[in-house]
C-alpha cells in the first residue's frame, strides 16, 4: 500500500504546536481538527512541546474515487 502523500497543516494556537496531517487527499478543516483531537487524546500526558511540528499519518481518502 502506498503511504499518504498529501500534507495538511493545522496549528493548535493554544499549545503552540503545528500538526502536519498526511492523508490521501486534501482534508477539510473539520477532518484536520478531528485528527488533531484524536492524536492529543491518545498522547495523554505526553503532549508535544510548543514550537514543534507533529506529523500524523491518516487513512482518510484511501478508498475515495
The CA angle 46-8-16, to the nearest 5 degrees, is 40
| 60 CB-near residues (< 8 Å, 6+ apart) | 23, 24, 25, 27, 31, 35
Q: Are the C-beta atoms of 36 and 30 separated by less than 8 Å?
A: no
Query: What pLDDT, in 10s, does the model give residues 6-61?
Result: 999 999 999 999 999 999 999 999 999 999 999 999 998 888 999 999 999 998 88
Length of the chain: 65
Q: Domain segments of the chain: what residues?
A: 6-57
pTM of the full predicted structure?
0.86
Three-class secondary structure of residue 39 per DSSP: helix
Amino acid at each position: 500500500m502506498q503511504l499518504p502523500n498529501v500534507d495538511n497543516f493545522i496549528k493548535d494556537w493554544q499549545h503552540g504546536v503545528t500538526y502536519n496531517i498526511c492523508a490521501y487527499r486534501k482534508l477539510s478543516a473539520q477532518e484536520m481538527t478531528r485528527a488533531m483531537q484524536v492524536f492529543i487524546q491518545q498522547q495523554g500526558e505526553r503532549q508535544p512541546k510548543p514550537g514543534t511540528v507533529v506529523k500524523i499519518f491518516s487513512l482518510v481518502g484511501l478508498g475515495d474515487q
